[in-house]
Chain A
């Protein structure tokens, strides 16, 4: 991938440029402000209007559950880019593209990181030499096949109605189909935003920094990109939950089609982390058909408001639209099959 991206114009973007610090500041200050307002309000006797209070609570909940994984994802990304020997991951992967993507889709088993944390790691993989489709395959599968997600889904549903199996197999299938589809693209680098493509194109030894310095650079770079996206994504997710009554979604739960669509909308809006989404959706299991629950658990970790905001740091809008359509249809199909078979 690096060699292909090297065809790009060599852009000398300074990692520690003032612009990056501004974005990092927006992200950090924004998230700190959310938490700070909440802390100040607690016990002060002053209360916000209910809607604003809900917005604050819902946004903070998204931030709290995502932030540790974002940090962990950035750290893993640094390990992949700086500390692992060059090409070590590539060395043991099969040469056959489909097999290679399948192996990559299983990486998540060893990485207990939810979807937000996987974005910086996927970015790191691209910088580290993976192709864009390979990185996408990892990105889509990892939040579903990661061990914490498997354990929490099993805790919530056991093996009832095949929901756990459908989630695992469906997630792997979607990731590999998307990987295959985008591997047919003539110019994979065109799938990336120009800014990130430029990051990838920068030669690895451009500044001859020490590993520690490089690690700090990468942390600042990734944090400045991901943190604002997380802040804005969590705000939007909270706002939509306040505006859209949940009762409306629940009322649709028993219709084979509407239940699946409702769950996809719910997953998109709620933007809950894949590590805990099974517990979130468990109370709905009595109302919604099992297929729609499976759809929620497959679609949510890949496509939601927060993820799209974070993915937009890496992929073009066109790619995200294509990704959303195909993942949406595949998730719906998983749900419909579960409804028919279970």
Chain B
């Protein structure tokens, strides 16, 4: 055999061996791939969004298109309601309600198969939800502070400090801050939380501001103004369209003078109760107004924005916004004692958190309590020490997990801070309570806590 033919044979043999080896290796990995079933490539979830809004999703991306997944295949711990849908290689698990703060959730999907092969596998993904940043107002001797803190621990940070802060609201990039002037008028300012630049808002007229509130998206703010021709006239500022202060128009097309108002959670629309006792659903951007009935007072809106508690001549009622249904709310007895109902928040599912007053054993003194009422029994969430304090207000966290309770520990010894609007006792304290357990997780010296 000549050298050339030997070398030529060497190439041919190497080529044949290479091809054979590659065929075998392809066969091995193909078999392994068939036996493996679908795998989880990646997952997406907005850990902040899932605690702020219902209907959020965790999306699991498989490494191949998978057969339709049924709810029976899905397990979520801790338990929460959900729906599931499948498209291509994406399995989307949509949560029916807001998830708990700072909690590790595990989504496990069993018996997942590809659209081609019956080989099943289990996909599992865990994530931890965000803990909220809480804002509150701490009034001091010479200056007032807007402070941020967490659900636990004692860390706090002052984000803005100035004298005579009446109220504030948290926006996407700003704080809306109302301060009191010596002439008994209010000033509204936007404070950039990054740069600390303060931008004063030019009001339609000098006057006093009340009922400051911000939309859930953090791009609109509203308030009522009294002064000049304004008599508790409702105004909004759409921050996406500049700093123009616009009146909210009522059904008659004129600026609405209101007894109370609030943005609906998760939307840019608002509820307003006008002086003629008409409850209106208003979209300030679209300019639409829908009447919802006649009531004496506007109380609190449920965290999901579907139900609002109103007062009529006979007490508290729950108004379902979608269909206008009205249900009278009767407080359940507390430890066998009859309770007198105060402000109430209806939770998703119909249970409610409400402020009640109950007489003590002597029947001569009354204690202020916050209770969780499932319609038949009432469980005490919070009462002041020795029953001597008062509960002035409370706000339920957007996911319904916690309630922040504004309280004055000893009402009889309370001293006012002297503010001519939205005055508070100097000892005002906000207590945060876990709704499910009633455990107190945190208390801060201050009020107007924003979730």
Which partner residue on chain A sits nearest B89 by CB separation? Answer: A286
Q: Which residues does chain B contribute within 8 Å of A329, judged by CB atoms?
A: 19, 22-23, 26
| Residue of A whose beta carbon sits closest to that of B115 | A254
A-B residue pairs in contact (CB < 8 Å), sample of 24: A160-B41, A184-B14, A185-B11, A186-B4, A186-B6, A186-B7, A186-B10, A187-B7, A254-B89, A254-B115, A255-B114, A256-B34, A286-B88, A326-B18, A329-B22, A329-B23, A329-B26, A336-B33, A339-B33, A339-B63, A339-B64, A340-B29, A340-B33, A342-B39
The yes or no answer to B314 lying at the interface (CB within 8 A) is no
Q: Does A290 contact B (CB under 8 A)?
A: yes
B65 close to A (CB within 8 Å): yes
Q: Mark A221-263, 1 if CB is under 8 A from B, else 0.
A: 0000000000000000000000000000000011111010000
CB pair A287–B22 under 8 Å, yes or no, is no
In the assembled complex, B25 has its CB within 8 A of some CB on chain A = yes
**Are B116 and A255 interface neighbours, CB within 8 A?**
yes
Contact with B along A86-121 (1 / 0, CB 8 A): 000000000000000000000000000000000000
- If A253-B65, A254-B115, A286-B88 touch, does A184 touch B10 (CB 8 Å cutoff)? yes
Residue numbers in A under 8 Å from B286 (CB-CB) = none
Given contacts A177-B18, A329-B19, A342-B63, A254 and B29 within 8 Å (CB-CB): no
Bound complex: CA of A340 vs CA of B42, how far in Å? 15
Q: Does A333 contact B (CB under 8 A)?
A: yes
Once the chains bind, are A286 and B19 in contact (CB under 8 Å)? no
Complex Cα spacing A91 to B79, Å: 69
How many angstroms between the C-alpha atoms of A259 and B65 in the bound complex? 11
CA A182 – CA B5 in complex, angstroms? 15
- A33, CB-defined interface residue at 8 Å: no
Shortest Cβ distance from residue A201 to the other chain B in the assembled complex, whole angstroms: 19
Q: In the bound complex, how far is the Cα of B197 from the Cα of A87, in angstroms?
A: 66
B30 on the interface (CB 8 Å rule)?
yes
Contacts of B30 in A (CB 8 A): 256-257, 336
Query: B: which residues have CB within 8 A of A?
Result: 3-8, 10-11, 14-15, 18-19, 22-23, 25-26, 29-30, 32-34, 36, 39, 41-42, 63-65, 88-90, 114-117
Decide: B88 and A287 in contact? CB cutoff 8 A: yes
Decide yes or no whether A72 CB sits under 8 A from chain B.
no
Residue interface bits A305-331, CB-to-B below 8 A is 1, else 0: 000000000000000001001100110
Are A325 and B19 in contact, CB atoms less than 8 angstroms apart? yes
Rounded to whole Å, the gap between the CB of B306 and the closest CB of chain A is: 35
A161 within 8 A of B: yes
Residues of chain B within 8 A (CB-CB) of A55 are none
User: Distance in Å from the Cβ of B413 to the closest Cβ of chain A?
Assistant: 62
* Contact yes or no, B4 A326, CB < 8 A: no
A290 to B38, CA, bound (A): 12
Contacting residues, chain A, for B116 (C-beta < 8 A)? 254-255
Known: A254-B116, A256-B34. A160 touches B10 (CB 8 A): no
**Is A181 in the interface zone, CB < 8 Å from B?**
yes
- Give the residue name and chain of the B residue nearest to A182 (CB): B11
Tell yes or no: A79 within 8 A of B by CB: no
Query: Which 3 pairs between the two chains have the least Cβ-Cβ distance?
Result: A186-B7, A336-B29, A329-B22
A286 CA / B91 CA spacing, docked (Å): 12
Interface residue? A127 (CB, 8 A) = no
Q: Are B36 and A340 in touch, CB under 8 angstroms? A: yes
Q: Which of B14, B29, B114 has the most CB of A within 10 A?
A: B29
Within 8 A of B (CB), among A280-313: 286-287, 289-291
Q: Which residues from A are CB-within-8-Å of B42?
A: 160-161
* Residues in A lying within 8 Å of B, measured CB to CB: 160-161, 177, 181-182, 184-187, 253-257, 259, 286-287, 289-291, 322, 325-326, 329-330, 332-333, 336-337, 339-340, 342
A-side binding surface: helix, strand, loop or mixed?
A: helix
B11 contacts A186, C-beta separation under 8 Å:
yes
Bound Cα distance from A256 to B117, whole angstroms: 9
> Knowing A286-B88, A287-B65 touch, does A326 contact B33 (C-beta < 8 A)?
no
Set of chain B residues within 8 Å of A255, measured between Cβ atoms: 114, 116-117
Scoring A185, A187, A287, A342 by chain B CB atoms within 10 A of each residue's CB, the highest score goes to A185
Chain B CB within 10 A, most for which of A187, A257, A336, A342: A336
- Are A286 and B33 closer than 8 Å at their CB atoms? no
Q: How far is the CA of A11 from the CA of B25 in the complex (A)?
A: 45
Contacts of A182 in B (CB 8 A): 11
Whether the Cβ atoms of A333 and B65 lie closer than 8 Å is no
Question: With contacts A184-B11, A186-B7, A289-B64 known, is A332 near B33, CB below 8 A?
Answer: no
Q: How far is the CB of B248 from chain A (nearest CB, A)?
A: 45
Q: How far is the CA of A342 from the CA of B63 in the complex (A)?
A: 8
Nearest CB in chain B: distance from A268 CB, A: 18
**Which A residue's beta carbon lies closest to that of B66?**
A254
Q: How far is the CA of A133 from the CA of B330 in the complex (A)?
A: 89
Task: Give CA–CA (A14, B89) in the complex, Å.
Answer: 59
Cross-interface CB contact of B29 among A187, A259, A337, cutoff 8 Å = A337
Give chain A nearest CB distance to B388 CB in angstroms.
Answer: 61
- Whether A181 touches B63, Cβ cut-off 8 Å, given contacts A332-B26, A340-B29, is no
Q: Tell me the smallest distance from the CB of A327 to a CB of chain B, in Å.
A: 10
Contacts of B114 in A (CB 8 A): 254-255
Contacts of A187 in B (CB 8 A): 4, 7-8
Given contacts A287-B88, A336-B29, contact A254 B22 (CB under 8 A): no
Question: Are A290 and B63 CB-contacts (below 8 A) given A160-B41, A184-B7, A186-B4?
Answer: yes
A161 to B3, CA, bound (A): 48
Q: Which residue of A lies closest to B29 (CB)?
A: A336
Q: Are B26 and A336 in contact (CB under 8 A)?
A: yes
Contact check: which of A286, A336, A337 meets B90 at CB < 8 Å?
Answer: A286
